[in-house]
Structure 1
Amino acid sequence: MARATPYLASLDLGSTRTRLVIATPVPDRARWTVAGYGDVPSKGIRKGVVVSIEQAEETIRQCLTEAERMVGFGIDTLRASLSGLHVRSLNGHGVVAVSNRNRQITATDIQRVIEQASAVNLPADRGIVEVLPQEFVVDEQDGIGDPLGMLGMRLEVTVHIVTSPVTASQNIVTSANRLGIIVEDLTLGSLAAATATLTEEEREYGTAIVDIGGEITSLAVFQRGAVRHTAMFGIGGTHFTNDIAVGLRSSVPEAERIKQSFGCVFSPLLHPNERQEQLAVTASGGRSRMLSRQVLCEMLQPRAEEIFKEIQENLQKAGFEKKLSSGLVLTGGGSLLSGIPELAERMLDLPVRIGTPAGLDGISEELSHPEWATAIGLILSSIRPRANHHLRQRETSWRHWLAGIKSFFSSPNSAR
């Protein structure tokens, strides 16, 4: 298929589902609209990590086929999400003297101070994925978002640095490259979801976004307009399913059906009549048994409490427990389980809402759900930077590796 239209594409390679979105500009190019999308079960991905290049490649191929059929042309570049327990983050600080003789801060000064702040010691097998400026300080005047053009002698910056093992990043890139697709950038999934769901007020006054995926739950804290803290937890929606499968001795597909149709993690939501409602469950061997919704809730609630207990402890350790004036925003497919927002409010003593993606035209009813926040947020991240003078660390080893193979996989002879 020949491409005749400008486009942006995103790939959310999740542990249980893989989603791909293609957006095209509206006629005046002031906005972008969703033109196509794909959604398929993931294979070859565990806890956010590619464990089989061949299966991950096939998963991406299926997603591409669905999306490209809708838009009527093929794509060759996209931005992908990054997640997993292997992702780690830290904050850095840099200071430089303003180089310009008239003491006016230039883009070169800003880049120099960000580079100094990101000059951290990392193991040889780990590289920097993103460097996100939080706040600039000019001659001890803090709270500056963009110092370009200001006068000063001393420029400081604090940054949030996202790191990942080089091989984990390479495997995502390789899975796409084998289809002739160039991965232009990797973005932390929770930050992409935040781009699609958080308001400017929430970013300013303090909000935690919690993305409950299939096998990973991600946390990102925003305050004063910038990301301040990120973390990953090895619990997700599949753990609820597995709890049901083990407790009822049923198959995983049957447990997933029960969870989606009748699951609840907060018993006060159940009406007295609902608590006694009997559900027919097909156990192993084809035998049928009955289960009350109250018992099902008692199976699921401890796992949900475990998720929010870990989040609470992490926020306490990072010093943000009392600083989230705008509360908590939930995204990811796991946030759709009945009772999740109510349980989070009770445990964390914060206002909680479900984050639905916005910011693009053409978001259909199917896409207006929290599990699409990351894929749509990746598109928005390509349209508008998340922070002033957002620096990408192109000199990390995995990007060197990507540059070396780009010409081969983007050649006309590369077949899908």
Structure 2
Amino acid sequence: MAKQDPYIVGIDIGTSKVCAIIAEADAEGFIEVIGVGSAESKGVRKGAVVNLDATTQAVRHAVEEAESLSGLAVNAAFVGLGGANIKGYNSRGVVAISSRNREISEADKQRVIDQARAVSIPPDREIIEVLPQEYTVDDQDGIGDPVGMLGMRLSVDVHIVTSPITARQNVITSITRSGLLVLDTVLAPMAAAEATLSDDEKEFGVALIDIGGETTSLAIFHRGTIRHTAVFPLGGSHLTNDIAVGLRTPFPEAERIKREYGCAISNRAVDLQRGNGGLVEVPSVGGRAPRTLSREILCDILQPRAEEILSLVHNEIVRAGYERQLCSGVVLTGGGAMMDGMAEVTEQILDLPVRYGIPEGVGGLTERISAPAFATAVGLVLYGYRKKMSANRAPARQQAGALARAASRIKGWLGNFF
């Protein structure tokens, strides 16, 4: 992180909105959110930037709102990456340990990761993440960090995520045009996992489902690490469009109706707490008079699309071979997950327990961010803090390693005399 900017900034560029969060950490590692901003996203389609000017303006507005709330001016950020064109797959690398004492070093660890990422990808795509899953030293598998262990052969299983080259660059350009430096880009589902999943859930198996504006992301964790990712080109905006078409109402009104009255299960009890008998007033188009419909009709429109989205996710989980390994169930995040009944539909389709992913691990303006829609932005802040701490510890590790190597050389030199 830049020395002139001691604060941590996370920016989530979604199809529906851009969210910016400014946070600071004290000496004990407590992270406090001190600024939150959001803006309507008009330059993003299916998670990819399609209008640089509109996206830059949305980023600038969101950051300025967060700056105004925090009283700070920031200059760098950690940024989420998503989109329907994101693809993930697993790879494996193997190297021989050539040092005389067969002790595995940081260089060996990096060498085997480089070997695992040496895969063929189309020329218009780039690798944006190489996520180590586990290492194997000779025949001992399930190793989290092999450095310091002795062995003849080191292998690693990794999860590789690729994206169109232009997609990542367009995100970076929209950030830099808004006046900020991009410190790092992070796969959006991985960022959301930082803020919503516990270590126990990752260990026993969990599916994180992020329902965004025009995409739905899936990230499967098992035995403590990421195992599978996928992105589907359907999201909350498709539910809104179904309302607009089915009820013949303008899109903005359809979005409002979805937020206020939408329900993903048509046969559940209709609104009994708003004092309107479960009725919804629907504006018409072309100057026609508004109509009054039952909420049950609205839910009849929404349920098939909700089931379609979750069926795609279920089929992918089955295809990946994890349908019986998700002992911790499902965690729902994203703005699209907040619609009434979405958790129940998820439970029915996936036959797994479901909870909402409310961001955790931070304090401060929690009332502004305590919703699944902010999971990615909060996760970017947590990732940024962890990376900052790792960078601060790196010189100490390097110094310790240098001292150890010097001591080994001295020991060897003295051995020549005794």
State TM-score, norm by structure 2. Answer: 0.89
Determine whether 1:107 maps to 2:106: yes
Q: CA deviation at 1:330?
A: 0.1
Q: 1:342 to 1:65 in 2, by over 3 A?
A: same
Structure 2 unaligned regions, length at least 5:
392-418
Deviations 1:73-118 (A, max 9, x none): 2212111111111111111100011132111111111000001001
Q: 1:330 to 1:272 in 2, by over 3 A?
A: closer
Determine whether 1:314 maps to 2:316: yes
What is the correspondence of 1:17-416 to structure 2 with a 5 Å cutoff? 17-26=17-26, 28-270=27-269, 277-284=278-285, 285-384=287-386
SS of the equivalent of 2:102 reads coil
SS of the equivalent of 1:357 reads coil
Q: 1:38 to 1:134 in 2, by over 3 A?
A: same
SS of the equivalent of 2:221 reads strand
Q: 1:83 to 1:5 in 2, by over 3 A?
A: closer
User: d(CA) in 2 for partners of 1:206 and 1:369?
Assistant: 23
Q: CA deviation at 1:223?
A: 0.4
Q: CA deviation at 1:69?
A: 1.3
Q: Which position in structure 1 is the counterpart of 2:12?
A: 12
Q: CA deviation at 1:4?
A: 7.2
Q: Which position in structure 2 is the counterpart of 1:399?
A: none
Whichever residue aligns with residue 88 of structure 1, its letter is K
Q: CA deviation at 1:262?
A: 1.1
CA contact (8 A) 1:21 1:36 kept: yes
Q: CA deviation at 1:384?
A: 2.4
CA contact (8 A) 2:5 2:75 kept: no
CA contact (8 A) 2:85 2:163 kept: yes
Whichever residue aligns with residue 312 of structure 2, its letter is E
Whichever residue aligns with residue 359 of structure 1, its letter is G
Q: 1:264 to 1:141 in 2, by over 3 A?
A: same
Deviations 1:207-262 (A, max 9, x none): 00000001110000000111000000111111111111111111111111211111
CA contact (8 A) 1:95 1:155 kept: yes
Q: 1:278 to 1:223 in 2, by over 3 A?
A: same
Q: 1:64 to 1:273 in 2, by over 3 A?
A: closer
Deviates more, 1:17-26 or 1:266-275: 266-275
User: d(CA) in 2 for partners of 1:112 and 1:184?
Assistant: 24
CA contact (8 A) 2:271 2:278 kept: no
User: d(CA) in 2 for partners of 1:200 and 1:231?
Assistant: 21
Identity of aligned residues (%): 49
User: d(CA) in 1 for partners of 2:222 and 2:325?
Assistant: 8
CA contact (8 A) 2:35 2:365 kept: no
CA contact (8 A) 2:5 2:74 kept: no
Structure 1 unaligned regions, length at least 5:
390-416
Q: CA deviation at 1:368?
A: 0.7
User: d(CA) in 2 for partners of 1:154 and 1:146?
Assistant: 14
User: d(CA) in 1 for partners of 2:41 and 2:294?
Assistant: 32
User: d(CA) in 2 for partners of 1:4 and 1:221?
Assistant: 37
CA contact (8 A) 2:36 2:368 kept: no
SS of the equivalent of 2:29 reads coil
User: d(CA) in 2 for partners of 1:29 and 1:61?
Assistant: 31
CA contact (8 A) 1:4 1:73 kept: no
RMSD: 1.9
Q: CA deviation at 1:29?
A: 4.7
SS of the equivalent of 1:37 reads strand
User: d(CA) in 1 for partners of 2:74 and 2:330?
Assistant: 36
SS of the equivalent of 2:366 reads coil
User: d(CA) in 1 for partners of 2:216 and 2:338?
Assistant: 14
Larger Rg: 2
Q: CA deviation at 1:272?
A: 9.2
Q: 1:273 to 1:78 in 2, by over 3 A?
A: closer
CA contact (8 A) 2:270 2:295 kept: no
SS of the equivalent of 2:74 reads coil
User: d(CA) in 2 for partners of 1:260 and 1:178?
Assistant: 33
User: d(CA) in 1 for partners of 2:270 and 2:347?
Assistant: 20
User: d(CA) in 1 for partners of 2:194 and 2:364?
Assistant: 17
User: d(CA) in 2 for partners of 1:265 and 1:366?
Assistant: 25
Q: Which position in structure 1 is the counterpart of 2:410?
A: none
SS of the equivalent of 1:365 reads helix
User: d(CA) in 1 for partners of 2:19 and 2:193?
Assistant: 17
Whichever residue aligns with residue 278 of structure 1, its letter is L
User: d(CA) in 1 for partners of 2:242 and 2:85?
Assistant: 25
User: d(CA) in 1 for partners of 2:157 and 2:205?
Assistant: 17
User: d(CA) in 1 for partners of 2:4 and 2:139?
Assistant: 51
CA contact (8 A) 1:106 1:149 kept: yes
Q: Which runs of 4+ in 1 moved over 3 A?
A: 271-276
